[in-house]
Structure 1
Amino acid sequence: MAETPPDTRARILQVAMDEFAARGYHATSVREIAERVGVTKTAVLYHFPGKADIVGALAEPMLADLDAAMAAAGLPDPAGARWAAIEGLLDVWLAHRYLLRMNLYDLALAATGTVFRRFRDGMMRANTLVAGPDPDFDGRVRAAQAIAMLSDPVVLFADAPVEALRAAVLRGVHRLLGDAGPRSRTATGPDTEPAEPTEPAAPAARVRPGRGRRGRPGVMSPSMADTARRMYAAGSTATEIAAALGVSRATVYRHLTDTDH
């Protein structure tokens, strides 16, 4: 049976991701992507008019999740908004850690102006939420430092267990801000470590509808669901998909069931 265009599109994206990560965006041609997929260059250009459009398609799920996380973090309480933004942004980076690692090679995400602007605007929104209301210059700098601390460990340790990596990153940010986060303040002071450092739960002030009791999302955004389906079609297991997206296996199964799991 002939392959359907959606399958070809997904294969193009997967091959492009692998090639960009291994060789860099600028060193990879559309023809080389086509050869690895097993289609003509014209077939690739049918789905993506140019190489920058491939990057845009690869980045779209991450950008959509970033927009959603920052929109959900806008809580009335400044402390709650700060940690909602920090943990929400970290969850986005963990879900898309291999795309971030690809970008480390030659900043491929800056290849298209639209992707760069959306990424920049999302990060500026995160800085505003983390800095809090009426911050001084030092406060804005600390917010930028806290945000920067979220991505580098995710890129460097992309293959580490997600929960352990998430917990370690959050502990570092807590120390930088001199604040263990709304959920873990105790009578012993703000530097007290969480009781279960391997998997910190979300603070009560930032738990949002659809999130489970241990802070893992109980629902996925449409872009995350699309990513899950693409990964499943490419041969990933539900466990691998859950780890990549930072959700439970039950959540993955629920979304995959909607499309002939």
Structure 2
Amino acid sequence: MNERPAEDTRTRILRTALELFGGRGYERTSVREIAERVGLTKTAVLYHFSTKADILVALATPIIADLEAALDVGTAPGDPRTRWSVIEGLLETYLTHRDVLHMVMQDMRVLTQEPVFHRFVDMMTLANHLVAGPSAGLADQVRAAQAIAMLSDPVILLARTPTGPLRLAVLDGVRRLYAVAPETAPETVPGAPPESVPEAPSEAAVPEAPPEPAPETPPDTTPKAADQAAPGRRAGRPGAMTPEMIGAARRMHASGAHTMAEIAAAVGVSRATLYRHLPV
């Protein structure tokens, strides 16, 4: 039987090393253990990677390259579109490389390996510059650093959460950091600054859903007077949802065929109200 191509052997070594590094840690895993798990001799593994550190660098390089690509946005630093493009690109890379990201957080030694370390530092510096802008003050610089830092932790800590809901929840958190309510953020620029969109309604202006009525009592779908007069809300949009409205919205959301804007329009409420009743 012919031996497998060198590329395939290299891939098997990296896949096995990732499993062992992620589960046991870099220091506790030896090249011999990797070789035995793959079905090779230690010498055969060292033919492809001169040292264990080289295996670590090979595992980390793809995610670093993808993170760098996510920062190649071609638009002005600090622009809302630039900010959101960078945030979405970084998050998508973290979601794509979940296993490697988990390994990195398990053993920060990954970031000390050359040339990974300098590439990572340069990348994070550029990311903060793009999100904050060239003339950002301290508050904007801190907010940019927080927005970037908050992308990776949920991906690591909620490793078993499906990608779709996790992505939505993380991006919603960034929107909230920049004080942009989901119902007022432009569809094409979810990260737009507060001054470019209408003021978000307060919690008092968006009451909680009323308790579900008894089965024999038909639900009252008439908007409350307080809802009609509440400041900051668009006319004709109730702030509360009936059980029937909630059920319809959740079915549309579960189908995956509708945007939040479409669901909100279909049930006749704002997206801020809708977000409080969907299982994100």
Give the TM-score of the pair, scaled to structure 2. Answer: 0.65
- 3-state SS of 1:28 partner: coil
Q: How many residues of Structure 1 are paired with residues of Structure 2 in the alignment? A: 199
CA–CA distance in structure 2, aligned partners of residues 41 and 85 of structure 1: 41
Matched with 1:30 is 31
- Give the alignment of 1:63-82 within 5 angstroms: 63-72=64-73, 74-75=75-76, 78-82=79-83
CA–CA distance in structure 2, aligned partners of residues 190 and 97 of structure 1: 34
Matched with 1:116 is 117
Say whether residues 1:7 and 2:8 are aligned partners.
yes
The answer to whether the Cα contact below 8 Å between 1:79 and 1:182 also exists between their aligned partners in 2 is: no
Aligned-residue identity in percent = 51
Matched with 1:144 is 145
Distance change (3 Å), C-alpha of 1:105 and 1:11: same
The answer to whether the Cα contact below 8 Å between 1:73 and 1:88 also exists between their aligned partners in 2 is: no
The Cα of 1:52 is off from its aligned counterpart by: 1.2
Q: Deviations over 1:27-64 (max 9, x none)?
A: 11111111111101111111111111111111121111
The answer to whether the Cα contact below 8 Å between 2:22 and 2:103 also exists between their aligned partners in 1 is: yes
Say whether residues 1:156 and 2:157 are aligned partners.
yes
The 4+ residue runs of structure 1 with deviation greater than 3 A are 73-77, 184-192, 195-201
Distance change (3 Å), C-alpha of 1:76 and 1:191: farther
Say whether residues 1:173 and 2:185 are aligned partners.
no
CA–CA distance in structure 2, aligned partners of residues 72 and 102 of structure 1: 28
CA–CA distance in structure 2, aligned partners of residues 178 and 98 of structure 1: 32
CA–CA distance in structure 2, aligned partners of residues 175 and 143 of structure 1: 13
The answer to whether the Cα contact below 8 Å between 1:175 and 1:191 also exists between their aligned partners in 2 is: no
The Cα of 1:109 is off from its aligned counterpart by: 1.6
Distance change (3 Å), C-alpha of 1:174 and 1:197: farther
The Cα of 1:191 is off from its aligned counterpart by: 7.0
The answer to whether the Cα contact below 8 Å between 2:22 and 2:102 also exists between their aligned partners in 1 is: yes
The Cα of 1:197 is off from its aligned counterpart by: 8.1
Q: Deviations over 1:39-91 (max 9, x none)?
A: 01111111111111111111121111111110126447711111111111111
**Larger Cα-atom Rg:** 2
Matched with 2:134 is 133
Say whether residues 1:87 and 2:88 are aligned partners.
yes
Matched with 1:39 is 40
Structure 2 gaps, min length 5: 203-248, 260-280
Distance change (3 Å), C-alpha of 1:36 and 1:111: farther
CA–CA distance in structure 2, aligned partners of residues 128 and 115 of structure 1: 20
CA–CA distance in structure 1, aligned partners of residues 80 and 197 of structure 2: 18
